[in-house]
């Protein structure tokens, strides 16, 4: 499903117009930076963070493509669960001193914004 609205010379999908989707893409980029800075022996944490972060973005896209409001809500709730999972991984990384405080706070700020938007979308 796509709209006729264009971004440059390319038509945009409906999910691409959502602020929450754009924020989730920014978060994936930030998580990539986080994981590149983590020690190689922590693959289990980097993998979990990247998978859960990607899941946020993908579930938002899937939800936006649904016609049924109950299906939209289901995907947005899954995205929210993935976001809170990311918060848990970040807490572990912070506690183990695997990421700096500034990066931790930056990630959490975006996560809090994403969760707030998703909660609002679910309640609608």
Between these two residues, 9 and 61, which has the higher pLDDT value? 61
Residue 39 sits at φ, ψ, to 5 deg, of: -60, 145
Annotate 33-102 with DSSP letters as a single string.
HHHHHS-GGGHHHHHHHHHHHHHHHHHHHHHHT-SSHHHHHHHHHHHHHHHHHHHHHHHHHHHTT-S-HH
The pTM (predicted TM-score) of the whole model is 0.90
Q: Please give the torsion angle defined by the CA atoms of residues 4, 9, 10 and 12, in that order, rounded to the nearest 10 degrees.
A: -50
Q: Are 53 and 31 in contact (CB under 8 A)?
A: yes
Mean pLDDT, the chain, integer:
92
Q: Could you tell me how many residues make up the chain?
A: 124
CA distances from 34 to 2, 3, 42, 56 (A): 33, 34, 12, 17
Is the pLDDT assigned to residue 105 strictly greater than 70? yes
Q: To which residue do tokens 């289990």 refer?
A: 44
For the segment 7-36, what is each residue's pLDDT rounded down to a tens digit? 567 889 999 999 999 999 999 999 999 999
Q: Domain extents for the chain?
A: 2-123
Is the pLDDT assigned to residue 77 strictly greater than 60? yes
**How far apart are the C-alpha atoms of 9 and 113, rounded to whole Å?**
30
Is the pLDDT assigned to residue 91 strictly greater than 70? yes
What is the CATH number that goes with domain 2-123? Answer: 1.20.1440.60
């Amino acid at each position: 499903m796509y709209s006729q609205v264009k971004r440059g010379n390319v038509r945009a999908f409906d999910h691409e117009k959502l602020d929450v989707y754009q924020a989730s893409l920014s978060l994936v980029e930030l998580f990539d930076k986080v994981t590149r800075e983590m020690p190689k022996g922590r693959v289990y944490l980097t993998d979990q963070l990247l998978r859960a972060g990607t899941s946020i973005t993908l579930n938002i896209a899937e939800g936006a493509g649904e016609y049924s409001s109950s299906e939209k809500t289901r995907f947005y709730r899954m995205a929210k669960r993935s976001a809170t999972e990311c918060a848990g991984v970040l807490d572990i990384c912070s506690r183990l001193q695997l990421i700096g405080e500034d990066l931790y706070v930056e990630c959490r700020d975006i996560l809090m914004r994403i969760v707030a938007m998703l909660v609002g979308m679910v309640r609608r």
